Amino acid sequence: MVRDSLSRPILAVFDLDGTLTTRDTSLPFIAFARGRSRLIGAMAATLPFLLADMSVAFKREAGEAGRCLGRVWGRWEVEFHQRLLRTMFQGMEQEAFLELGRRFAAEVMDAMVSPVGLEQVSWHRARGHECILVTASIDCYVEPWGRRVGFDKVLGSRMAIDMLARVRGGLEGEPCWGEAKVRRLRDEVGPLDGYTVVAYGNGPGDLALLARADHAVRVSARGSWPRLAAEVRRALMVTESRGSA
């Protein structure tokens, strides 16, 4: 969807997992923080709940007009990861949890990132575009990593913290997935009609954001980044040149 956007500032919005990274980051974070063997044990313990999580996902996604099975699967992954996070981190002191996130961001994240995808973030920054990372992944690690690589704002799912400064187990509010990505973005920057929105995503959780964008960029595989980056740069340079004419 492309609107007349010559006079509006450009807002570049990126998903993380599968878009800027070559794989999911949630399970590697849990394995890093709590150990691979404990993660495997927790996954085995959650098996009885898989059908219940799928039922929740189906009710939330397939029951609404225009929704597809891909969204059901994506929602199920969100529910499954939330259950693992509760199992693995409930009761941990907040500062210890945040420190694990900072270490994962510093020691592990870079090896999971597509260099060409990150170059596209740098290209937007060099042209003065506001860059925002919007992801369902947990903000304890996406916040420090995103700030380090140059994002102006980082919006991720947030673990709830109790009055004793311990991880409560669930999320604070809803996961930053699907329509929630658009709501979080609006809460952060205001009405999106004031921007030319360039959105980069790859999966069912990004469809609402891509539908709202002026330039929607669907990253389907690692090899698609060079072509997509070149196409976006050409389109935006034309837009900017017309706007300054």
Q: Residue 157's pLDDT is what? A: 94
Residue 169 falls within a domain, yes or no? yes
Q: Residue 243's pLDDT is what? A: 58
The strand pairing partners of 10, in sequence order, are 196
CA distances from residue 107 to 82, 85, 144, 183, 188 in whole angstroms, order as listed: 23, 20, 12, 31, 29
Residue 141 falls within a domain, yes or no? yes
Residue 1 falls within a domain, yes or no? no
Instruction: Give me the average pLDDT of each 10-residue run along the chain (245 residues).
Output: 63 96 93 92 74 58 48 60 86 97 98 95 96 96 97 96 91 89 96 96 91 94 83 85 60
Q: Residue 4's pLDDT is what? A: 47
Q: Which residue blocks in the chain are alpha helix, DSSP H?
A: 26-34, 36-45, 50-61, 69-89, 94-107, 115-126, 139-149, 179-189, 207-212, 225-244
Q: Domain tally for the chain?
A: 1
Alpha carbons 176 and 156: distance in angstroms, whole number: 6
Residue 2 falls within a domain, yes or no? no
Residue 117 falls within a domain, yes or no? yes
Residue 3 falls within a domain, yes or no? no
Residue 152 falls within a domain, yes or no? yes
Residue 82 falls within a domain, yes or no? yes
Q: Residue 25's pLDDT is what? A: 95
CATH of the domain at 204: 3.40.50.1000
Host domain of residue 206: 10-244
